[in-house]
Chain A
Amino acid sequence: MESCALKDVSFEVEDGLFVGLIGHTGSGKSTLIQHLNGLMKPTSGTVYFDEEDIFAPGYDLKGLRSRVGLVFQYPEYQLFEQDIITDVKFGPKNMGLKDDEASGRAEEALRLVGVDPRLYKRSPFEISGGQKRRVAIAGVLAMGPRVLILDEPTAGLDPKGRDEILDCIDALHTEKGMTVILVSHSMDDVARYADRLLVMDKSRLCYYDTPKEVFTHYKELERMGLSAPQITYLAADLRRAGIMVDERMSTIEEAKAEILGFFHDKDKDHNSI
Chain B
Amino acid sequence: MLRDITIGQYYPVASRIHALDPRTKLAATMLYLLSLFMTDSVAGYAIATIFLFSVIRLSRVPFRFMVRGLKAIMILLVLSVSFNLFLTPGTELFGIGFIHITYEGLFTALFMAVRLVYLVLGSSIMTLTTTPNALTDGLEKSLGFMKRFGVPVHEIAMMMSIALRFIPILVEETDKIMKAQTARGADFESGGLIQKARAMVPLLVPLFISAFRRALDLSMAMEARCYHGGEGRTKMRPLRYGKNDMHAYVIILIYFILMLLTNLLPF
Contacts and interface: CB of A to CB of B under 8 A. Distances in A.
B184 A143 contact: yes
B209 A90 contact: no
A79 interface: yes
A62 B185 contact: yes
Contacts of A70: 180, 183
A140 interface: yes
Interface residues of B, number: 17
A78 B181 contact: yes
Given A79-B206, A80-B206, A91 B201 contact: no
B9 to A, nearest CB: 18
Given A79-B206, A80-B206, A125-B209, A72 B183 contact: yes
Given A77-B210, A78-B177, A79-B206, A69 B185 contact: no
A75 interface: yes
Contacts of A139: 184
A72 B176 contact: yes
Q: Is the interface of A mostly helix, strand, loop or mixed?
A: helix
B118 to A, nearest CB: 33
A94 B188 CA distance: 12
B177 A77 contact: yes
Interface string A58-94: 0000100110011010010111100000000011001
20 contacts: A39-B182, A39-B183, A62-B185, A65-B183, A66-B185, A69-B183, A70-B180, A77-B177, A77-B180, A77-B210, A78-B177, A80-B201, A80-B202, A80-B205, A90-B181, A94-B185, A94-B186, A139-B184, A140-B184, A143-B184
Interface of A: 34, 37, 39, 62, 65-66, 69-70, 72, 75, 77-80, 90-91, 94-95, 125, 139-140, 143
